[in-house]
Structure formats: structure tokens, C-alpha cells
């Protein structure tokens, strides 16, 4: 199973305060989405057009419309917008599955570039009509360590009217990416590409310039179990889910750990008794990488993640949990729905400790905002 790391570089057209390009990245259901929208012209009007159409496209995807239908709808509307006051954008939009299936749609935008085993190639789309215009479609399967590049014409038209009368084109960019990839990795490739475009354009960006690099990597899994099941009859299924869970396995909650230990026939023992509210107890259980308290650890980990990963390198359970979550790409949350009225006690409220359920929701929201793939399972 694959995950996708994305890097972006974006620069305004020389003399403009706002960029006329807008990049959008998000995950929805079992797919990952990446897009660049290039507003016509530059400055404020182009910026508003790009943001508006990107937002509209993203809403269509989240409402369950397929990427093909969303792109076709937008392309037809852009054809109608030509010559009118309606906001116009060119765009490149990509959908990726966790199995590497890729689908790219290009409307009046540069063709995507694939980098595989230090060899780059410009991908040729199949064009089909959408109203008075044409939409390009490219299908391919990515492999681990492949990189896919989407970019606006600020990249492909670098050197326009100078060293390259029509710009160096997608082929020029692809050749340079290939050369850079032999000695550089990731963000260094993007920096080299952008610097080359700047040089070709005489030291200033002649157009808004945006590039996305999406790299396929082997997904790192984490499975988090928190809360006993709603009924005793689900305990065995809950334990089976733990046995079959992928990657790092974390248990948050002493009652949760007791259920899993009992159903699996293994011992649960103290690893450390904790040092107070900031460092709750840790336990040891066969098959688990981290076992700690529920509400306290989840609340503290959620607070740490809001700090965007800065400075939590200690050994408290909350810091360990936050680090493990930050390192994971795909996270399965197994939540037992049994109620724990103790979490609503005045003592907890006085200290600002949210019930386990609320802390878990906050944690999931933060992780999704970071681009983590979250799968939720209720028991």
C-alpha cells in the first residue's frame, strides 16, 4: 500500500503581490487529490479566479462527484467563461489511490512529468471534447519511489521570447528534472527546477510559477485502540481486530488494555506508574508497542499535535504517542463505544481534560489536517 508525500514551490509574477496560481491537496475516502489552478492573467483577479475554481472543484469531490465529472464540469464552464467577465482558470488535477492508480486531468495546462528510476518522461494525455474545448486525461500506475510533477505554465514557458522563443516546454523541464535527480532528492529537485526557470527568464519570474512534486512511498501504518466495546459480546471481535491490526499498535486506556489482555490470554503489567497528570502510567502487553491511559494521553497528544510537532522529544506517554502518530501515514482508529461517566466528573472539567471521545475526535481532526489517512472503526 502506498502513501504520497507532496512538496510545493510557488512564486508570484514579478511585481505582483498575489499569486494567480492556487494549489490544492487533500485526501477523501480512499483517494488522494492534488491540483493546480492557474487564473487568467495575474494579480488579484487571477488569484480570486484560481481560489474560487479550486474551492468549487474540491467541494464537488467531497460531495461524491467523480474526478472525471468534476473536471469535465469545470472545463465546460471555463469554455463558457472565455471572453466573458466570469473567472477563468486552466488547471491540472490528479487523483491517486493507495494502490498507485493515477488519473490526471489537464485543461489548457502543461502535461505532467513522471520521474522513475532517474528517468523522466512527459506523459501524453488522451484528449476528448468538453463543450467547445478539450480535456486531457492521463492514466498510469505509480510504483514506490516514483515522483509525479504537476506545474503551471510559469514552469513550461520559462525562457519565452529569449533563449527559447516558445519557452523550454515540458520536455525541457523533464530533461532538467532528470539531470537534477541524479544528485539531488525531494525539495532539492524542486529548488533546482525553479532556479533554472528563474535563470531562463532573466532573473525574475515572467509569470506566476507553481510546481507540485508528489512522491509515492511505502505507507507507515499505526493502529490505535481506545475504549472498551459498547457490549461485552463485542470484546472478542475487538481483540481479533487487534491481532490483525497493521503496523505499530497503540492502546490508550487501562480498561481497553484489560479487555484486550483478557480476550487474548496475555498478561498486562505496569511499565511505569507515571509522574503525575503530565505523565500518566504506562503498561506492558504482548503485541502492543505503547499502552497508556486513555483520556489523559489522548488530550495531551492532541494538544501537542496542534503545536505541529515542535519540541516533544521526551519520554512521557503523550509525547511518545504524538511522535508515533506524526511518523505514521495511515492510521486505523478502533474506538470502543462503552461510556465512562468518570470522564465527565467535575475534577476532569476543572483541569480542562476532555472526555476520551472528544479528545479522540480532536486528535483525528488534527491528523487529517496533516494529510494522514484515517480509517475509523467503532465497536
**3-state secondary structure (DSSP) of residue 55:** helix
Listed residues 148, 183, 218: the one ending a domain? 218
Query: Does one domain contain both 184 and 45?
Result: yes
My answer on whether 139 and 64 are in the same domain is yes
35 and 92 belong to one structural domain: yes
CATH code, domain carrying 330:
3.40.50
Question: Is residue 158 domain-shared with residue 307, that is, in the same domain?
Answer: no
Q: What local confidence, expressed as pLDDT, does residue 278 receive?
A: 62
Report the relative pairing of strands 2-11 and 209-218 from DSSP bridges.
Answer: antiparallel
pLDDT of residue 345: 57
Q: What is the pLDDT of residue 85?
A: 77
DSSP per-residue codes, 155-216:
HHTTTBTTTBTT--HHHHHHHHHHHHHTT--THHHHHHHHHHHHHHTTSS-SS-EEEEEEEE
Residue 22 is predicted with a pLDDT of: 98
Whether residues 257 and 192 fall in one domain: no
Are 97 and 85 in contact, with CB atoms under 8 Å apart? no
Same domain, 351 and 252: yes
Using 70 as the pLDDT threshold, list the residues of the chain that sit under it: 274-278, 308-312, 341-352
* Pair 229, 128 in one domain: no
pLDDT for 51: 97
- Residue 352: the pLDDT is 58
| Shared domain check, 213 and 236 | no
Model pLDDT, residue 208: 95
Strands 248-252 and 290-292: parallel
181 and 258 both lie in a single domain: no
Domain edge (last residue) among 183, 218, 253: 218
State which of 203, 218, 233 marks the end of a domain.
Answer: 218
Same domain, 156 and 279: no
Q: What is the pLDDT of residue 174?
A: 98
User: Are 36 and 104 part of one and the same domain?
Assistant: yes
| Distance, first Cα to last Cα, the chain | 25
Give the Cα separation of 274 and 227 in Å (integer). Answer: 20
The sign of the CA dihedral 50, 135, 27, 113 is negative
For the chain, what is the domain count? Answer: 2
**pLDDT at 136 (0 to 100):** 98
- DSSP E strand boundaries for the chain: 2-11, 21-28, 31-39, 89-97, 101-107, 113-116, 119-122, 126-130, 133-141, 147-151, 209-218, 221-226, 248-252, 268-272, 282-285, 290-292, 330-335, 373-378
Q: Where are the alpha helices (DSSP H) in 221-311?
A: 235-243, 254-264, 295-305
Domain span including residue 158: 2-218
Do 232 and 258 lie in one domain? The reply is yes
- Residue 183 pLDDT: 93
Q: Provide the pairing of β-strand 133-141 with 126-130.
A: antiparallel
Domain CATH code at residue 55: 3.60.40.10
* CA torsion, ordered 152, 154, 156, 158, to nearest 10 deg: -170
Amino acid at each position: 500500500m502506498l502513501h504520497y508525500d507532496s512538496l510545493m514551490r510557488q512564486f508570484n509574477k514579478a511585481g505582483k503581490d498575489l499569486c494567480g496560481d492556487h494549489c490544492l491537496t487533500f485526501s477523501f475516502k480512499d483517494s488522494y487529490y492534488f491540483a493546480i489552478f492557474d487564473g487568467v492573467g495575474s494579480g488579484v483577479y487571477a488569484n480570486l479566479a484560481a481560489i474560487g475554481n479550486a474551492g468549487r472543484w474540491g467541494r464537488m469531490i467531497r460531495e461524491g462527484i467523480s474526478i472525471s465529472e468534476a473536471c469535465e464540469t469545470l472545463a465546460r464552464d471555463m469554455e463558457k467563461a472565455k471572453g466573458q467577465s466570469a473567472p477563468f482558470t486552466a488547471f491540472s488535477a490528479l487523483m491517486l489511490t493507495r494502490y498507485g492508480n493515477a488519473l490526471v486531468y489537464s485543461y489548457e495546462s502543461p502535461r505532467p512529468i513522471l520521474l522513475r528510476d532517474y528517468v523522466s518522461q512527459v506523459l501524453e494525455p488522451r484528449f476528448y471534447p468538453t463543450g467547445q474545448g478539450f480535456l486531457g486525461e492521463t492514466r498510469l500506475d505509480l510504483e514506490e519511489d516514483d515522483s509525479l510533477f504537476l506545474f503551471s505554465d510559469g514552469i513550461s514557458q520559462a525562457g519565452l521570447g529569449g533563449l527559447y522563443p516558445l519557452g523550454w516546454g515540458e520536455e525541457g523541464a523533464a530533461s532538467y528534472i532528470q539531470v537534477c535527480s541524479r544528485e539531488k532528492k525531494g525539495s532539492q529537485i524542486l529548488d533546482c527546477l525553479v532556479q533554472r526557470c528563474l535563470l531562463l527568464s532573466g532573473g525574475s519570474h515572467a509569470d506566476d510559477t507553481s510546481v507540485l512534486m508528489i512522491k509515492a512511498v511505502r505507507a507507515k501504518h499505526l493502529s490505535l485502540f481506545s475504549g472498551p466495546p459498547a457490549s461485552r459480546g463485542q470484546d472478542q471481535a475487538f481483540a481479533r481486530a487487534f491481532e490483525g491490526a497493521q503496523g505499530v499498535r497503540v492502546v490508550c486506556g487501562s480498561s481497553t488494555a484489560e479487555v484486550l489482555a483478557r480476550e487474548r490470554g496475555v498478561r498486562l503489567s505496569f511499565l511505569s506508574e507515571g509522574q503525575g497528570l503530565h505523565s500518566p502510567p504506562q503498561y506492558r502487553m504482548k503485541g502492543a508497542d505503547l499502552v497508556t491511559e486513555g483520556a489523559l494521553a489522548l488530550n495531551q497528544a492532541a494538544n501537542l499535535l496542534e503545536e505541529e510537532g515542535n519540541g516533544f522529544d521526551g519520554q512521557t506517554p503523550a509525547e511518545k504517542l504524538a511522535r508515533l502518530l506524526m511518523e505514521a501515514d495511515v492510521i486505523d482508529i478502533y474506538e470502543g463505544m462503552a461510556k465512562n461517566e468518570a470522564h465527565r466528573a467535575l475534577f476532569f472539567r476543572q483541569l480542562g481534560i476532555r472526555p476520551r471521545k472528544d479528545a479522540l475526535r480532536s486528535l483525528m481532526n488534527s491528523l487529517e489536517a496533516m494529510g494522514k489517512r484515517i480509517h475509523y472503526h467503532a465497536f
